Amino acid sequence: MTRKAAGRRAAKDVNGRFEWLSEAPSMNPLVRKVFADLQEACRALAAGATKLSRPMDLLANSPHEARVCVIEPVDGGRDWRYTRVGTDLVRFFGVDATGHLVSEIYDAQKAREGIALLNQIASTHYEPRLLQIRYEAEQVADCSTENIFVPIPTVNGRGVCILGLMFLSEPEPLSKA
């Protein structure tokens, strides 16, 4: 079985069930701090005070790189591709989605919902969003996560990519880093 086929199978299994819970403010002080820092960085980007050579530059000197994913639109936003998935996310979900499309990973209904949400987030240039998501699946303990999504211009300036960070709702870190 190819890596891509194995990744798709495992990701489909993780798809067991998830739901978008809310956009409520975080109760986790770490998430609130990271969100505020990203808001400040996005204001500087929007004002032209800073430039990025790659999406990860937004998190320069941050200890949270292992919980980051970068998602880029495909075919004008008809789908989205994970171009980077941090090691904490790979460990949590049991699959590396790097290179995979949202439509390959999730069942048709969840893929449509996810693509619509990503397109909505992408339209808010430079405005980070905090979403709470609940997962229920065999490979993932039932849990809620707090996810920060940051729409930023692609390096070539021809579109928007989304930088995502995932935190378990409990204040414990995913890794020691």
pLDDT at 151 over 60: yes
Residue ranges of domains in the chain: 3-168
pTM of the model: 0.78
Q: What angle do CA 26, 13, 28 make, to 5 degrees?
A: 10
Angle at 98 between CA 77 and CA 171, to 5 degrees: 95
What pLDDT, in 10s, does the model give residues 23-72? 667 778 888 889 888 888 888 888 887 777 777 777 777 788 899 999 99
What's the CATH number for 3-168?
3.30.450.20
**Rounded Cα–Cα distance for residues 125 and 109 (Å):** 26
